[in-house]
């Protein structure tokens, strides 16, 4: 029997069986992506709990089933090992040494199941001087350089408004898992693939990191302006702000503004001089832009072929006509919280669609059903539950 909740059209990963040992955000982001693409993901929770509270659970645990196993219990560990024998992928984000202490590390599982792809996220890497440290997103934002380039110039460090390193690490691990599965098709063997919040954060620094590595330049804060090209940034309008990227079509931008005086100013004659005099150019542009509303300028500038857009609050995002057309919010029904809207995976497949097939499970609700599917007898399940090795959770299935 498949581990995947029913869907009208199977997703591209519907043949895969995934055991999800992850907690918090980075690891669950990875397994949610796999689940959205159809993989049968079984979240393995401790009987003492395992989900983030509130909306985070709905966001991160959808499309999964939940079982409850005490991995510190010898019998519970044996249950997990039996499940891992049939898995394609195991994903974990413990501190680097925890999986070894529990006896569920890659070497142990791979010896039993050589085709297994074992995937790990840590704060700082699986070895090295920081390997045993706990890590969370904001620590990685600071250590990876993001907070040094975010915010207005001279304002001190600023964190990004989202958990960038968590999302980056989860997404990179998804890519690594898919690559390891492709390699398995060629070699017949799985492998261990791992990343960390710190590695992912540094990689996401992208051109800012390269400015240092290649050019020897330490990037600083640039606020809402692009750090290396101008004009590209946030400008005032009559009723708020607008983002404009005018650097590649300067003449069209000046014409759309109706600003012949800007075009004639020698300070703005070329790219280098416009960047050198960016404060004066910003003031001159805003003197024109404040004459019309953001909506008016969005229409005028897009008509002129200039990238621009409004700055929306989150509630406004989901009312935007293009976002509604893209159906970024997808409905799902939760057994306790009722109908909810969740953000879908931002990928479209023409033949094997990703989907939100089921709401987040109740913690441990699928323990009995999953164990039966994996060959456990009902008497054995009852004994395991009685010993505390497993918990039957919020709801045993109706036989």
The helix/strand/coil state of 376 is coil
Distance in angstroms (rounded) separating the CA atoms of residues 119 and 20: 10
Residue 87 falls in which region: left (phi positive, over 0), alpha (psi -120 to 50) or beta: beta
Structure tokens at 234: 């946030």
Selecting among 36, 166, 225, 366, the annotated active-site residue is: 166
Q: Is 166 one of the annotated active-site residues of the chain?
A: yes
Q: Estimate to the nearest angstrom the gap between the alpha carbon of 12 and the chain centroid.
A: 19
DSSP label at residue 266: G
Instruction: Of 358, 356, 378, give the one whose Cα is nearest residue 367.
Output: 378
Check: CB of residue 344 under 8 Å from CB of residue 327.
yes
The helix/strand/coil state of 397 is coil
Angle at 214 between CA 209 and CA 219, to 5 degrees: 40
Buried/exposed code over 58-88 (b: 16+ C-beta within 10 A; e: otherwise):
bbbbbbbbbbbbbbebeebbebbeebbeebb
Residues 6+ positions from 300 with CB-CB distance below 8 Å: 256, 292
Q: Which residue numbers are catalytic?
A: 166
């Amino acid at each position: 029997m498949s581990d995947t909740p029913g869907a009208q059209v199977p997703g591209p990963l519907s043949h895969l069986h995934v055991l999800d040992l992850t907690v918090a955000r980075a690891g669950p982001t990875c397994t949610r992506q796999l689940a959205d693409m159809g993989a049968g993901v079984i979240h393995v929770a401790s009987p003492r709990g395992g989900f983030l509270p509130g909306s985070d659970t709905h966001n991160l645990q959808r499309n999964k089933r939940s079982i409850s196993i005490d991995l510190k219990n010898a019998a519970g560990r044996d249950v997990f090992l039996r499940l891992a024998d049939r898995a394609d992928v195991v994903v974990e984000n413990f501190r680097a040494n925890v999986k070894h202490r529990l006896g569920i590390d890659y070497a142990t599982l791979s010896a039993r199941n050589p085709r297994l792809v074992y995937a790990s996220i840590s704060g700082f890497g699986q070895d090295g001087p920081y390997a045993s440290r706990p890590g969370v997103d904001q620590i990685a934002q600071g250590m990876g350089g993001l907070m040094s380039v975010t915010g207005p110039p001279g304002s001190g460090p600023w964190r990004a408004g989202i958990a960038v390193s968590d999302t980056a690490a989860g997404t990179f691990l998804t890519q690594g898992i898919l690559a390891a599965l492709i390699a398995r098709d060629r070699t017949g063997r799985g492998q261990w693939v791992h990343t960390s919040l710190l590695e992912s954060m540094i990689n996401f620094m992208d051109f800012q990191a390269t400015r240092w590595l290649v050019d020897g330049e330490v990037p600083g804060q640039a606020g809402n302006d692009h750090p290396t090209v101008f004009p590209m940034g946030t400008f005032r309008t009559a009723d708020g702000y607008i983002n404009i990227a005018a650097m590649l079509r300067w003449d069209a931008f000046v014409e759309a503004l109706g600003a012949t005086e800007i075009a004639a100013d020698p300070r703005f004659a070329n790219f280098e001089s416009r960047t050198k005099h960016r404060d004066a150019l910003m003031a001159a542009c805003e003197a024109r832009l404040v004459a019309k509303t953001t909506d008016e300028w969005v229409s005028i500038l897009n008509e002129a072929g200039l990238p621009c857009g409004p700055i929306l609050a989150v509630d406004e995002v989901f009312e935007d006509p293009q976002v509604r057309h893209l159906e970024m919010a997808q409905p799902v029904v939760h057994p306790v919280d009722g109908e909810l809207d969740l953000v879908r995976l931002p990928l479209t497949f023409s033949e094997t669609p990703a989907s939100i097939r089921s709401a987040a499970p109740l913690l441990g609700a699928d323990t009995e059903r999953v164990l039966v599917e994996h060959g456990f007898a009902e008497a054995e399940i009852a004994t395991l539950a009685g010993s505390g090795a497993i918990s039957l959770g919020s709801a045993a299935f109706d036989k």
